[in-house]
Structure 1
Amino acid sequence: MAEWYYNPPRNISSLVFAVVHLVAIFCVLLNAKFGCFIVIVASIFFSISQSSDSGPSQIWGILILLGIAAYEFKAFISFFLLLSLIVCQFFVTLNFNIGQYSYMTLASLSSFFVVSYLLGKSISWKNIANKRQEEEKMLNLKKAEDVRRRRIAVTIHDGMSGSLSLATRELQRLIRKTPSEVERIELVKVNGYVGEALMGMKYALDCLDGDVDFPDIKNMNDLKLLIADEDARLKRLGYKGSWDCEGTCFFNSYIGYVVVSFVRECYANILKHSLPGCVYHIRVSVLSGNMNIECSNKIDKGHDAIKHSQDGFFSSGYGLSLQKANISSIGGSCVYGIYNDEWKAIASIPLRI
């Protein structure tokens, strides 16, 4: 409006276009993308085709619309649009009569820095708002997942705790009646495993009414420590395996929660599908913004309680199915099954949501 006052339109066509230009800017509120495109193209064309004394320049509309476009798109596009602002300001400044409009030249150049600052702040505010929305979304997903896991835990506990208690009592009876010292030692060992299972069920039940002591994994080093602990636990049970982690990365707590859940489920499947002495391997790598986790172990078909199904795959139970659903919900992928007489579970988990 100040420029209109100091440099009013000299003809009807300039006046009509200036009014249309102003109205079109406010019409951007109705359809931002289409309105931005039309006004920017028309403004640039009008600025190039008209002389500086034919009325107010259209740089103000271009500044506003480029700012809106930069706010809507990604950072590298915003940077490109900021460079466009510099070019537009340069040409408009050259069109001014320096002697007559020196104060306008100064105002035109100063406006670029003001608009650039406001544009940067708007992008910063948008990023903060997006981060808050993402945190709220992750929190809601976590709450929904906690409710579902509580229901699953109750079902599992009700179905297993009674049978495990009967099993340990029967084992204790056999221990008392078995004359062979070797067999008695083996039964004591088996009874210990059943007892550990009961304690695990009790711990799961305690977690239903309190906060779960779940590791907070936020980078590759934290994940290495977790895998080392799980690997040591299997080594104590007689399993033979190896693991390696490649790359460095950082991720939020929910991604860490999904990663830890999948890794622990992989170790649980090693115990499920094979006897002590089994060879297994877990590999973690980072590629193209995704964390790739691959677990493989030799299967013991005679020992495994779950036989081949019609399609030739072992049933994984509900564990890996739930992990697959979790990973898919954040845009990742998970497959598992038998490949070349090995049980494999492979997941690709995005590090950003």
Structure 2
Amino acid sequence: MNDGKTMAPPVPVQSRPPAGINAGAWLGGAILLAIAVLPLLVRNAFLTHLAIMVCINAIIVSGLSLLARSGQISLCQGAFVGIGAYMSVLMTLGLNLPFILGVAVAVLSAGLVAWLLGAIMLRLTGVYFVLLTFAFGQLVYLVFLEWDSVTGGANGIPGIPPASIFGFAFDGKPSFYCLALVLTLGVFLLLRAIYRSPAGHAIDSVGENAKLAEASGISVRGTQLFALTLSGAIAGLGGSLIAHYTNYISPESFNMNESVTLIIIMVVGGRKILLGPLIGAMVMTPLPELFRGAVESQNIYYGVALILMLRFLPLGLASLPSRSRRKQEVRA
């Protein structure tokens, strides 16, 4: 019924674009695509080497990020990397098995050790779990160092054969970069599928509030055990790639400093965002080359960067696009 008053026309509501289809996502994808093809176009050996190490570090840290999303932090990721590396070498160099079988054994071995570790230690949480993983990492390092007949001791194992699939040897940097890039993409697609599955929702729920998740019927210990097992298996894949890329491994490559460096990469990139490990690896992997003339000060720079990141950007560099988008929405 019209009472004589003029009604104002409704204000149109601006529709929000669906998540994942925004300018920031397209821009990020374009940047990552450019980084992926740049080493192949430039044909610079040093740049290609850095790109390979970025891919390997991104693979390893993505597993660590998976565990962190479940609410646990591990200081023995370097140990799982070492287990994968040594098992792959023993299969290919010791038993003369194909590279694919060596990688499979490396992944399964590291995952099995991670599962056994979790079955024993996941009854503890927080700082107690972190301390136990620290002790386990030191124990594995000592085994690598003292078991000369298998690991070569402090001298390590030289002469590791290059990666080879169906007769094609990835013995050059460009070809190995293609292999590392494909495996990195495969790992990230796997984790993307997991994060969007009920298992991924359970991992996030346990990481956010373990007691509430348990009250909702989610097995906290079972979820964290799954995350730790998969994290170890992914680290084993990264260890196998390191061994067959460098053609030499030694216990020093898998000490506690390496585990701490992996955690720093995860924090800088962002542990709750899928591409966080890749972004962290792209930022932190080239730093040792920049500080080659000041090795003693490298840890100081790492520590300062970690403190600043935790203070001003706790969700990592990968959260910058979402933060800027939220600020724009608030202004609008």
Structure whose CA Rg is larger: 1
Same fold (TM over 0.5): no
Higher relative contact order (CA 8 A, sep 6+): 2
Q: TM-score, normalised by structure 2?
A: 0.21
Q: TM-score, normalised by structure 1?
A: 0.20
Q: Which has the higher helix share?
A: 2
